[in-house]
Chain A
Amino acid sequence: MTTPNKTPPGADPKQLERTGTVREIGSQAVWSLSSCKPGFGVDQLRDDNLETYWQSDGSQPHLVNIQFRRKTTVKTLCIYADYKSDESYTPSKISVRVGNNFHNLQEIRAFSRRLNMGVWNKQLELVEPSGWIHVPLTDTHKKPIRTFMIQIAVLANHQNGRDTHMRQIKVYTPVEESSIGKFPRCTTIDFMMYRSIR
């Protein structure tokens, strides 16, 4: 199509957390990068600070590997990318792969409802993003995937840049509100009051 529209920013993931439907579990995983510039590594990627970022220092594709201790249900990935501050370092094509280990990764279809374009691409295409990108990780039945490992691969950057900046990544798992019974969550306080003894 013609000029692709810019990728609109998504909601702040903190809002998502407050709904109580998801929980951030990045802390339960081991993070590793394919390459990084000293001082711009995993810590900066996971420090909840949008000013600091990871800067890669190798050849494409740049990879972020997230490995969990046990098979975890993952619902959403949130990536913060900002074209205005990163320009040619901003990723433009991202592929998300899941599997059991490095040899077993499979790309999953990642699309964002918020994107006007590129819904059907196998990879996530970003056009001048300016905020949080929510990447739902679902399988063909629209359920959150269960996996040991997630790999985020940056395949291309804006303006054909070599290295990439990524400011923050968060991983969310659905909260199982299984207070009792295999039912979905309650919505009213009246039910919730009686749901448990604290």
Chain B
Amino acid sequence: MEFGDSACFTLSLLGHVYCKTDRLAKGSECYQKSLSLNPFLWSPFESLCEIGEKPDPDQTFKLTSLQNFSSCLPNTCTTLVSNHNISHRQPESVLMETPQDTIELNRINLESSNSKYSSLNSDSSMSYIDSAVISSDSVPLGSGTAILSKQAQNKPKTGRSLLGGPATLSPLTPSFGILPLETPSPGDGSYLQNYTNSSSVIDVPSTGAPSKKTVSRISQAGTKSVFSQSGNSREVTPILVAQTQSSGPQTSTTPQVLSPTIAAPPNALPRRSSRLFTSDSSTTKENSKKLKMKFPPKIPNRKTKSKTNKGGITQPNLNDSLEITKLDSSIISEGKISAVAPQIQAFTLQKAAAEGLMSLLRDMGKGYLALCSYNCKEAINILSHLPSHHYNTGWVLCQIGRAYFELAEYMQAERIFSEVRRIENYRVEGMEIYSTTLWHLQKDVALSVLSKDLTDMDKNSPEAWCAAGNCFSLQREHDIAIKFFQRAIQVDPNYAYAYTLLGHEFVLTEELDKALACFRNAIRVNSRHYNAWYGLGMIYYKQEKFSLAEMHFQKALDINPQSSVLLCHIGVVQHALKKSEKALDTLNKAINIDPKNPLCKFHRASVLFANEKYKSALQELEELKQIVPKESLVYFLIGKVYKKLGQTHLALMNFSWAMDLDPKGANNQIKEAIDKRYLPDDEEPITREEQISECYPYESVGTDESQESSMTDADDTQLHAVESDEF
């Protein structure tokens, strides 16, 4: 390809294009190539996981480009400059930040964080590191140059400009080295500035643009710390550009940490990674443009030309400082400031840092891969072993929360998500899972708070509207929920979950055709969205098309093999298809996977009951009674079993308990079951009434109310009886 150094980014974008047009094989091939060219890229890895491939993190994230480093080494400032000139052109893509992530700003994901090293070398084909890094503020290392006060220039607004600076390895050195060379003259305009797009937020036409264009985008709203690299001064936030510093390769910038931790440079490295990932993961939804921005090395000369595209350059070079590639920061922290000599040191440091970064990437990669293959327990395990400053970041915790959610351990998930809200309350990605968790737990207050916060924060994100829809769905206002889910779809038509949720709402309002259409749309957008397959299965089950239902559930199960709920449903469907043996097997499997799922036991009991294995059914139900003592269905089924066994009094007792527990349920079935007992015997009603008054086992369930309703029910029955006598 003709893209040379930026081939990896190009390939990654090409991969996206292929995937969107359903050519998954080619897409995954492109992603693999891209990763082989630049192991620092996270988003192709993420995409690979999401399309179902299983890239091996160990293989992927390893440093093979060491030679690049070394080749970078000898560059001193001067040489660097020349190098810069040559290699400068990196394509810059800007990452667009989605409005919602303020933090994510950095998106530029440092995909190629280290590629900087290579990039410096003209020959290296490594990608450039987008260092959006920003953080600035800290320490202006080095001599003054700069500083890039650029900040000033850059736009105040949200500035998250992600400017990736091509920090080449040498960059550290050279860049810093260069700084002193360059005078912070405004003339230089440093390309950086251009990047930062001075003030205007330029949305780069994403995708695609592998072309060298610097586009800086400023995302809006977030206004949160910006990682702008170069002084994004734009950001009002403290970003501060660190600036370049003199010879020392260190870029002082300490990346602004998203997490409140640390300022210390040593932490920078790790933090940066998490940010990196965070930003990556937060797919720019909105624009879905992920442009990697490459930040050309700060070479004053070049910059001006390259960047001229975008306006405003106000800042003087600064850029260099911005580069903060992670490594740089670590290196910076070292505070080595010296001129040439340290370059070698710098290099080794950088290498070490790169290695550290790689190992982090490996771990995260393993965790993410496990999660995408729904190997949730392992994912949780891997991710929990990350060092705490990584663990306590939004992205990691969200992944863990999602893993718990997929395991149906909603309490745990809720706990983790509330932690995310606490530490990163601007984070919107991943919150749709939190809202569904709260929906399952029926915590309506928390859910409505969440949805209000999210919609206030970012009206353009589908997650916020999904949360709002979930909130109203919990309140049973399905029409309003439908409206919100449709809004979520409008905001982002490529967001599969919104379609799924909308489909569920249509099922609840009994508009099954529309529901079918929605689920199919969800699958069109993302064929690995097992919730949509499940939804289709449910609809077919409702329409009694059991074999179709089984097929769809099976597809869902293929994607997510550890879901006990799915297995349970399959078991029930198989039973409906009269394959009771298989049903029992499936249910046993479900119980083995998740012994805490009471419904599996319940359905197993009902299958046993249908097969007339009353004793085992009873045993199952007794166990269930211990686990969930307040569930009326359990008593109902026990009653039915006793009825079949001929123990009518016990049956009646259980039926009455069931009715107690479900007074408003208007369970006609229960009443019917009881009534049938009465037909043959006229004096039963009275006996029943007595029984009802005698056996009130539960004080808990609004006794008065339940008593009253039971009594009234009894009245009704009597009345009916009387009536029938009359007429």
Residues of A within 8 A of B (CB): 17-21, 23, 27, 113, 119-120, 142-143, 174-175, 178, 180-181, 183-198
Contacts and interface: CB of A to CB of B under 8 A. Distances in A.
Contacts of A180: 538, 541, 568-569, 572, 603
A194 B408 contact: yes
Interface in B270-313: none
A120 to B, nearest CB: 8
Contacts of A178: 542
Given A23-B509, A143-B668, A183 B633 contact: yes
B210 to A, nearest CB: 39
Given A193-B410, A198-B504, A183 B606 contact: yes
Interface string B355-382: 0000000000000000000000000000
A173 to B, nearest CB: 8
B647 interface: no
Nearest to A109: B723
Contact of A198 (B439, B666, B723): B439
Interface stretch (B128-136, B242-250, B457-465, B624-632): B624-632
5 contacts: A142-B716, A184-B633, A187-B631, A191-B598, A192-B440
A198 B501 contact: yes
A142 B674 CA distance: 13
Nearest to A183: B633
Nearest to B538: A196
B602 interface: yes
Interface string B575-608: 0000000000000000000000111101100100
A185 B668 contact: no
Contact of B572 (A19, A181, A197): A181
A139 to B, nearest CB: 12
B95 interface: no
Interface stretch (B2-10, B152-160, B258-266, B657-665): B657-665
A20 B476 contact: yes
Contacts of A195: 565, 599
Contacts, number: 110
A17 B436 CA distance: 21
Given A21-B665, A180-B568, A198-B440, A190 B476 contact: no
Given A180-B568, A181-B572, A186 B633 contact: yes
Nearest to B670: A184
A184 B633 CA distance: 7
B476 A18 contact: yes
Contacts of B630: 187-188
A87 B719 CA distance: 33
Contacts of A189: 441-442
A88 to B, nearest CB: 33
B518 to A, nearest CB: 13
Instruction: Decide if the interface of chain A is mainly helix, strand, loop or mixed.
Output: loop
Interface in B471-485: 475-476, 478-479
A185 B542 contact: no
Nearest to B573: A180
Those 5 A-B pairs whose CB atoms lie nearest each other, nearest first: A194-B599, A184-B667, A188-B631, A187-B632, A197-B534
B666 A190 contact: no
A29 to B, nearest CB: 13
A175 B630 CA distance: 22
B636 A183 contact: yes
A193 B712 CA distance: 31
B631 A186 contact: yes
A99 to B, nearest CB: 21
Given A181-B572, A197-B531, A198-B504, 6 more contacts: A18-B475, A23-B478, A185-B662, A186-B632, A187-B665, A197-B534
A194 B476 contact: no
Contacts of B556: 197
B598 A194 contact: yes
A57 to B, nearest CB: 32
Interface string B530-559: 110010001001100000000000001000
Nearest to A143: B668
A190 B631 contact: yes
A21 B302 CA distance: 70
B436 to A, nearest CB: 5
A76 to B, nearest CB: 10
B495 to A, nearest CB: 15
A171 to B, nearest CB: 14
B669 interface: yes
A21 B664 contact: yes
B163 interface: no
A26 to B, nearest CB: 12
B661 to A, nearest CB: 5
A116 to B, nearest CB: 13
- Residue picked from B475, B476, B723, most chain A C-beta under 10 Å: B476
Nearest to A20: B476
B671 interface: yes
B569 A187 contact: no
Contacts of A23: 476, 478, 509-510
Nearest to A182: B669
A143 B671 CA distance: 10
Contacts of A194: 408, 564-565, 568, 597-600
Nearest to B511: A28
A193 B441 contact: yes
Contacts of B488: none
Nearest to A144: B668
B661 A197 contact: no
A18 B602 CA distance: 26
Contacts of A20: 476
Contact of A188 (B478, B538, B606, B628): B628
A142 B476 contact: no
A164 B363 CA distance: 74
B595 to A, nearest CB: 12
A191 B633 contact: yes
Contact of B476 (A17, A188, A191): A17
Contact of B628 (A17, A174, A181, A191): A191
B389 interface: no
Given A180-B572, A187-B665, A198-B501, A192 B598 contact: no
